[in-house]
Every structure is written in C-alpha cells, then in structure tokens.
Amino acid sequence: MSESKWYVLKAISGQENKVKNYIENEIHRLNMDAYVTQVVIPMEKVIQIRNGKKVPKEKPYYPGYLMVEADLIGEVPHVIKNIPGVISFLSLTKGGEPVPMRKSEVNRMLGRMDELSEFATDVEIPFIVGENVKVTDGPFNGFNGTIEKILEDKKKVEVSVLIFGRKTPMELSFMQVEKVV
C-alpha cells in the first residue's frame, strides 16, 4: 500500500471552493475516498469594511491553489485533473509528474492556517496621537482630521475633524481612517 502525500493543485483563481467541492463529490462518487483523504484551501481571515462595519471574511491565502492529500495511484490523478476548474498538479515540468510537498512545507502550511485563523482578531494600533488622518468610511468619508485619543480597548480613535470651520470630535474605528501621507 503506498501512502498519501500532499500535492499542490492549480485551479482557476476565484473558483477554489467550487473545485474543492467538485473533487470531493467526484472522489466520493467513484468510491476513491481511500485515495484522496483531504482537500484543503489555505485561508486567511481579513477584515473588510462593509457599510461602516468590520466584517471578518476568509479569503484564499494562495489564490488559485488547493492542497490535496492523496495517494496518486491508478486513475486518481486522471480523475482529479479532469475536474472542472482544475488546471494541473504542480510539477517540475509542464505536464510532468505531480511533485509531493515536503513534510516541512505541509506542516508550515497547516500551521499557518491555524495561525491565520486566530490572527484576525488582533488588530495592531497603526496610529499615534496628533497624527493627521483621512476618514475613509462613513458619513464623513473624505474629511481630514487629527487623532486626539486612541481608544485601544474599543479599537477606535477619537478624531477631530474640521466641519464648517469648527473642530468636531468623532469616534471612528481603526478601519475607518487612514494616515495622510
């Protein structure tokens, strides 16, 4: 019995999840579950601003790539290569034999996924008091102001913005302002 190894699969960028589902369904349908044990898309959490709210979102860490733990015997590589959205296995030469990942790379990739999944909760403070910033989100989008206070626990800054010639203090999240260069 040969053993499963991790391989890198190139896929059409943006279709990673679709490709993962196709592979899993097809392998299952063909009773090849014993040969393809895991399909992984390394993800990272990113914070996006939607309507002034922070939305944690996951996006592929390596767009266009999936990692497959498989025992590539018989028809298995052929089945995987013919899945819609799959471009090829990563190999040394074009169309060559799939090259397995080294154990250290696999551990780093899987370890990195654990790290990334915990990482997004912690935003470092990118500002200092007195710094000039531009509001990038919310009703005062486009206005410039000065950081008066940093509210670390709330992950917010108090910014005084000049509105109609008067300084107006407002509380904004770190994600709603950017440094003026």
Predicted TM-score (pTM) of the model is: 0.59
* Nearby residues of 113 by Cβ (< 8 Å), 6 or more positions away: 40, 42, 43, 61
- Residue 62 phi, psi dihedral angles, 5° rounding: -120, 85
Q: If DSSP states are collapsed to H, E and C, what string results for 59-121? A: EECCCCEEEEEECCCCCHHHHHHCCCCEEEECECCCCCCECECCHHHHHHHHHHHHHHHHHCC
The per-residue pLDDT for range 150-177, each reduced to its tens digit, is 887 777 889 998 888 888 888 988 888 8
What are the structural domains, with CATH classification, of the chain?
A: 5-119 (3.30.70.940), 132-179 (2.30.30.30)
Phi-psi domain of 47 (left: phi exceeds 0; alpha: psi -120 through 50; beta: other)? beta
The per-residue pLDDT for range 96-114, each reduced to its tens digit, is 889 998 888 888 777 766 6
The per-residue pLDDT for range 35-92, each reduced to its tens digit, is 999 999 988 777 777 777 888 878 888 889 999 999 999 999 999 999 999 999 988 8
